[in-house]
Structure 1
Amino acid sequence: MSTDTTRIHNIGYRNYDGARLGRGYARRALYSQSLRGAYGLGRSARSKVLPMILFAVMCVPAAIIVAVGVATKMKELPLDYTRYAIVMQAVIGLYLAAQAPQAVSRDLRFKTVPLYFSRPIERIDYVVAKFGAMASALFALTAVPLLILYVGSLLAKMDFAEQTKGFAQGLVSVALLSLLFGGLGLVMAALTPRRGFGVAAVIATFTITYGAVSTLQAIAFETGAIGAVQWLGLFSPVTLIDGVQTAFLGASSSYPGAQGPGAAAGVVYLLVVLALIAGSYAVLMRHYRKVGL
């Protein structure tokens, strides 16, 4: 009886002879997928509801201001470009609390991060793509209403140079806000694979700190400690952005008594904002060094 049991079967596998797109393509694909996911695109209909509603809520006040301005032939907008995001900060915080965990928590919960890092994506590619996508999503959320205001101001025949300058200042402000909020939001969300905990952490970071700082600033102002008002603003992301744009972008301050930081304190504000952005990136890089193992 034959003992030869060796068999060779051709099941049709072929070598891949196409182009190897590499890390750059993979990083761009992850960025695009994450950015689309921040607005529910490419996901279920239920996933689109909240981000699209919040996007509409951000834009509707700007559209109303434009409609009133055109109808009444206003000479200037009732709300500065730099003030819009500060006034709507609750909506921005809610959007971030909903979408930052969506960007990173699922990968942690289902333990798919090591698969990303197998190849060709490396840890830095993953962090840069996620950070960039979250910041871009926030920039779209905050910049589109400013664009509506700008177009409306031109339709109302307001001063072109003044409106263009204000629009540019507003874009700089929301770009800085997007980087700061996006970085902090991702750090909070990446600390836990549970989405609910991530949502709570983001809300606590932005809402509680803003409420506490605003209360302390009001107390300091009422008790005559005017100098403390500007320094208390360093302890909340919202008041940090408020302080930077007051010092450098000609914005009016929402601090009690309009006691925004001067030029010297403004430098401290800007350095703190940049340090928090860089620190958020560093924390994410360190965190994903462990997660990817």
Structure 2
Amino acid sequence: MSESTTGVIHDIGYQRYTGARLGRSYRARSLYTHSLRTAFGLGRGFKAKLFPWAVVAIVTLAATFIAALESQSGEQLSTYPEFVDAMGFVVMLLLASVAPELLTRDLRARVLVLYFARPVRRDDYVMIKYAALVSAVFLLLGGPQLIMFLGDAFSVDGVGDFRRAVTDLLGGWLYTLLFALVMSAVALMISSFTPRRAFAAGGIVAVFMVTIPVAGALSVLSGTPGHLAGLVNPAWVVSGVGAWLAHHESPVDIGNTGPVYAVTAVVIVAACLAVLLARYRRVEQ
């Protein structure tokens, strides 16, 4: 005589999610906030905060020192674009530390599949990381410029001079934004090719530093070749744009080639982002 078997349904209390579905834009904002906090080591241990905040302290102290001297002497020691150029080496070190941190950890831990399983597209991921790094560089340089502005504003005579000080600050912030856009694009592109943070940091330093003596050697050439020598180095490209638009000092004499520097800056950003997008359309597939 055969025994009949019957199935048993167990109620494990499963319920469908009925809360708000915040969607793609919320996840994009969350990833941006997380990436920007990561750039400054916020929410992490002391070691992660040490280097970025040391860089913040160096740049802030430099701006404070300039503002104090200008208020005492009544003479302008540095324009805002010149301040950005002077801090270029420090910013390069920060980029070599932060850009790999934003990308290589996700590549090494192979968590991109989790990101892309939700409404954060691959293109979104790239652009959010780029926006976070640009914001970090802009805050690093733009905040200290505000200190310089306050020192300048308190020493001016009349409304006309104050308006000139405000215009100079806005021009400095525009230059800083261009600097952040170009340098961040290059740093992120290099970081995307390896999950090893040390290799990515070394590649960033090599690109930014090795091209300086090359550009310097080419700048001794006469005529147009010498004027275009700055195109070899990303930071000098930005400086060339500033020299063309604002007539501030540049490492090389750009002559009448200012528009070429401007076009090159746009091409660098577009090319680096195109490489990044192509890279992340293939990764983790």
TM-score > 0.5 by shorter chain:
yes
Shift of 1:205: 1.1
CA distance in 2, matches of 1:216, 1:59: 34
Paired position in structure 1 for 2:255: 261
Paired position in structure 2 for 1:275: 267
1:290 aligns with 2:282: yes
Written as runs of structure 1 = structure 2, the 5 A alignment for 1:222-241 is 225-241=222-238
The answer to whether the 8 A contact 1:210-1:238 is kept is no
- Gapped regions of structure 1 (runs ≥ 5): none
Written as runs of structure 1 = structure 2, the 5 A alignment for 1:155-234 is 155-157=154-156, 159-217=161-219, 219-220=220-221, 225-234=222-231
Root-mean-square deviation (Å): 1.6
**One-letter amino acid of the counterpart of residue 283, structure 1:** V
Paired position in structure 2 for 1:101: 100
CA distance in 1, matches of 2:39, 2:87: 19
User: Could you give the per-residue CA deviations for residues 194-245 of structure 1, whole angstroms, max 9, x where no partner exists?
Assistant: 000000011011111123212332x43xxxx254321111111111011000
1:25 aligns with 2:26: yes
1:244 aligns with 2:241: yes
**One-letter amino acid of the counterpart of residue 226, structure 2:** V
Shift of 1:77: 2.0
The answer to whether the 8 A contact 1:114-1:291 is kept is no
CA distance in 1, matches of 2:86, 2:64: 15
| CA spacing shift, 1:192–1:156, aligned 2, 3 Å | same
CA distance in 2, matches of 1:238, 1:187: 16
The answer to whether the 8 A contact 2:214-2:232 is kept is no
User: Could you give the per-residue CA deviations for residues 53-84 of structure 1, whole angstroms, max 9, x where no partner exists?
Assistant: 011111111101112223x2x33320111111
The answer to whether the 8 A contact 2:218-2:225 is kept is no
The answer to whether the 8 A contact 1:183-1:277 is kept is yes
User: Could you give the per-residue CA deviations for residues 235-272 of structure 1, whole angstroms, max 9, x where no partner exists?
Assistant: 111110110000012312232xxx2333xx11111111
SS in 1 for 2:20: coil
The answer to whether the 8 A contact 1:244-1:266 is kept is yes
The answer to whether the 8 A contact 1:213-1:232 is kept is yes
The answer to whether the 8 A contact 2:230-2:236 is kept is yes
CA distance in 2, matches of 1:9, 1:156: 78
> TM-score scaled by structure 1?
0.91
Paired position in structure 2 for 1:10: 11
| CA spacing shift, 1:203–1:3, aligned 2, 3 Å | farther
> TM-score scaled by structure 2?
0.94
The answer to whether the 8 A contact 2:236-2:250 is kept is no
CA distance in 1, matches of 2:170, 2:35: 27
Count of equivalent residues: 281
- Gapped regions of structure 2 (runs ≥ 5): none
Paired position in structure 2 for 1:38: 39
**One-letter amino acid of the counterpart of residue 66, structure 1:** A
Shift of 1:3: 5.0
